[in-house]
Structure 1
Amino acid sequence: MSPAEQRSATQARVDSWTWAVRLFKTRSAAAQACRAGHVRVNGVAAKPAQPVRPGDEIKVRQAGLERIVVVERIIHKRVGPPVAAQCLIDRSPPPPPKEVLAAQPRRERGAGRPTKRERRETDRLMGRTDG
């Protein structure tokens, strides 16, 4: 086995690995998340080509939630969910209850910037003061 093949067996690109274990739907989405700073390897922001090895902790922020996984096994090709589950240890915190998410104020999509009056009402609801 050549040195390049040995390295390939013990490490993989972070964008490729996160796509292969089904954290992202496409590899380009995984690479884009890395470039945007939403992927961290061992606490450091990762570029798409950063190598990952078994034992590395990967934090992925998607849709306001954070997934924390530990690399158990290196794979390069996308596999089915049962096999992908064997390649990582999921240490993600449980998602917040739906009641908490529903209670958070949301602004209607396309409503534009809040007016001064709306901003004051929001601040009053959140318990913020000017002083």
Structure 2
Amino acid sequence: MRIDKYLWCVRYYKTRNIATEACKKGHVAVNGQQVKPSREVYPTDVITLRRDQINYKLSVLDIPANRVGAKLVDIYRKDETPKEAFEHLALLKLAKEHYRAKGSGRPTKKDRRDIEDYTDDTLDFEDDNI
């Protein structure tokens, strides 16, 4: 089975076209080598793919005949993604919440005061060290 079709069948990508584009961009590797979408996948292959800022690692256990339900995906692959990758994603989401949303307009008075308080504190700290 083709790698793009396999990744679509085991629900890593919503459409086959998205899986094909990921292969073309070099986000998918089989046994450590970047692959084209037409690369055949066999049981015992190790697939590494990057999606949503997470490097997934999975082993092919079997080849499905067609797209499978979410509950049956574990029959065809073994997910070996380290837990640290998911923790890193959670930290990134928390960091993004801190910043203002793009296009949310000018800063409010409170935002300006917070910025001034922050810059005043850092300037005072630097003056003490001189």
Superposed pair shares fold, TM > 0.5: yes
Give the counterpart letter for 2:4 in structure 1: D
What is the distance in 1 between the residues matched to 2:24 and 2:89?
30
**What are structure 2's unaligned runs of at least 5 residues?**
104-130
User: C-alpha deviations, 1:20-47, integer Å up to 9, x for none?
Assistant: 0001000110000000000010010010
Task: Indicate the RMSD between aligned Cα atoms, in angstroms.
Answer: 2.2
1:103 and 2:95 correspond = yes
Question: Aligned partners of 2:49, 2:3: CA distance in 1, in Å?
Answer: 11
**Structure of greater Rg:** 2
* Partner deviation per Cα, 1:100-129 (whole Å, 9 max, x = no partner): 22237868547xxxxxxxxxxxxxxxxxxx
Equivalent position of 2:117 in the other structure: none
Match of 2:30 in 1: 41
For the residues of structure 1 that align with 2:22 and 2:89, how far apart are their CA atoms? 26
Per the normalisation by structure 1, the TM-score is 0.68
Write 1 or 2 for the structure with the bigger share of helix: 2
Report the TM-score, using the length of structure 2 for normalisation.
0.68
Aligned twin of 1:26: 15
Counting matched residue pairs gives 100
Q: Does structure 2 retain, via aligned residues, the 8 Å contact 1:16–1:76?
A: no
